A and B are shown apart, each in its own frame.
Chain A
Amino acid sequence: MNKWPTEEIPDTDVLYYRIHKRRYLETSRALPADAPKDELPPNLFKFIKGDLSVDWSKYAVPQESKDRARVPADNGIVEFEAGDVRARAHKVVHTPEQNHRAHSSVRGDEPEVRITLSRIAQWTMGFGPESIGL
């Protein structure tokens, strides 16, 4: 049984999302040469069974989100505000897990949510275009 209560995430709070280096590199290879170097195409945002998993800044910092990966060094972290997601009529809900109180979910029409996130997310930690040789 989950020991953490479910809370309401304020609009002004930040959510962290982890992106694996290989996914970023494979995406970058497919982009046109004139694509902006800081672009985050929608395929970088990965839905599993209708949910996109994020970490709520109330219970996590970017380094903790990164450390949850199998190989933390292979991952970068982007961030966005809950209110910016909700402004497009998508849902942001706290979905804590036994050993992961920060766990939260973004839900909504998948292609639309992914385009939204690609427009509002910003790199906050980890590899950038320079560090992976692009």
Chain B
Amino acid sequence: MASVTVPPTISAQMREKYQLTSDSHVQVVAEAKERLLALEDDWDGEGAPAYREQTIEAAAAFFYQLVERSELATPVRILPASEGSIDLHWKTARFELLVNFHPDGSVSYYGDDYCENVIQGKTCPKPEVIACWMEHPGE
């Protein structure tokens, strides 16, 4: 397997804090961070604000905690959402989950198994709860 160079945009402090073992996860976040921070005010022609580093860091911290608990968290999409917020989005054959991080620190989430089994809330979810749900979304 080819080695992955960890970009300098991820702080050593964050790596140590979450005891990261997978450079690929760091790479995913670093690429997203670079993309999102390059978006200036009004980047979508409709007045969208630029993204703040602290919003991205909050989403990244949650992602790092989640991937420690479930391999299913790895194929995440880190996407620019409304009003400076960041989406962590997972779409698999068994479930879809969206966790939205706002610049003011608020978090909301929704996920389902494409049927009636739903997980949702308006506070930052516990990574262990989300990891468990990802493993057994229809139970």
For chain A, the count of residues having a C-beta within 8 Å of the partner chain is 28
Which residue on A lies nearest to B109, using beta carbons? A111
B120 on interface, CB distance cutoff 8 Å: yes
**What are 10 A-B contacts with C-beta separation under 8 Å?**
A20-B45, A26-B35, A26-B80, A41-B77, A41-B89, A46-B44, A47-B83, A109-B108, A111-B109, A114-B81
Main secondary structure of the interface of B (DSSP, over half): strand
Q: Which residues of B lie under 8 Å from residue A27 when comparing CB positions?
A: 79-80
Give the CA-CA distance A43 to B78 in the complex, in Å.
10
> B-side interface residues toward A, CB under 8 Å?
32, 35, 39, 43-46, 48, 75, 77-83, 87, 89, 91, 96, 98-100, 108-110, 112, 120
Q: Which residues of B lie under 8 Å from residue A87 when comparing CB positions?
A: none
Q: Which residues of A lie under 8 Å from residue B112 when comparing CB positions?
A: 115
B31 to chain A, nearest CB (A): 8
Q: Which residues of A lie under 8 Å from residue B32 when comparing CB positions?
A: 30
